[in-house]
Structure 1
């Protein structure tokens, strides 16, 4: 992964400005939902994923560093996480700011445990 969990991996195929909204998100063991919102902001890039398809009404914030590959032709984003790892991630509250530094810290601690170095 990139040095920063909050930046896209150079090998991911990410191109700034490409609208990822609506892309399917694929974990290492299957589909987990769709991109509802995303950010390309340097040092704070993320995907907000609606995983309500298999867990009713839950959204998760995935740091961009968890993105392994983006397939613009098939409109899919592949992440280096299992469905269980995503499901067990810190709860996201839509009323909470996605840029909240304390929340980013909590996510960083959680996802750093799964980093592939």
Structure 2
């Protein structure tokens, strides 16, 4: 993860303006789902990942968890394990995305969940 949880890191190869919807998302130990929507706004960048039947819902993942992107494969790699993602607070609504307490809880969870 980067120093700023809501920014893509300088080495992850993110290109602002790239439509990431439908891209595969991989944890360090396997696939977790596909990007449903995303933001690449400065200091408010994130992925909303549809985990399908694996978790039955969507997850908000701060962009700082992205380690690299493979544009040819349309794959995003995270610094998180599947277990960390599975245990994260579930993303329930668009309004929740703007809730400062939810966002703080989410960042606290990911930053203490394991090595960044």
TM-score normalised by the chain length of structure 1: 0.92
Structure with the largest fraction of helix: 2
State how many pairs are aligned: 115
Which 5+ residue runs of structure 2 have no aligned equivalent? Answer: none
Which residue in 1 is equivalent to 2:9?
A: 9
Which residue in 2 is equivalent to 1:72?
A: 71
- Work out the CA distance in 1 between the residues paired with 2:92 and 2:4: 23
Which residue in 2 is equivalent to 1:50?
A: 50
**TM alignment of 1:33-44, pairs within 5 A:** 33-44=33-44
Q: Deviations over 1:44-101 (max 9, x none)?
A: 110000001422x211100000001011100000000111100000121125332221
The alpha-carbon deviation at position 115 of structure 1 amounts to 4.2
Name segments (4+ residues, structure 1) moved above 4 Å.
Answer: none
- Work out the CA distance in 1 between the residues paired with 2:21 and 2:7: 17
Which 5+ residue runs of structure 1 have no aligned equivalent? Answer: none
Which residue in 2 is equivalent to 1:26?
A: 26
Please report the RMSD computed on the Cα atoms of aligned residues, expressed in angstroms. 1.2
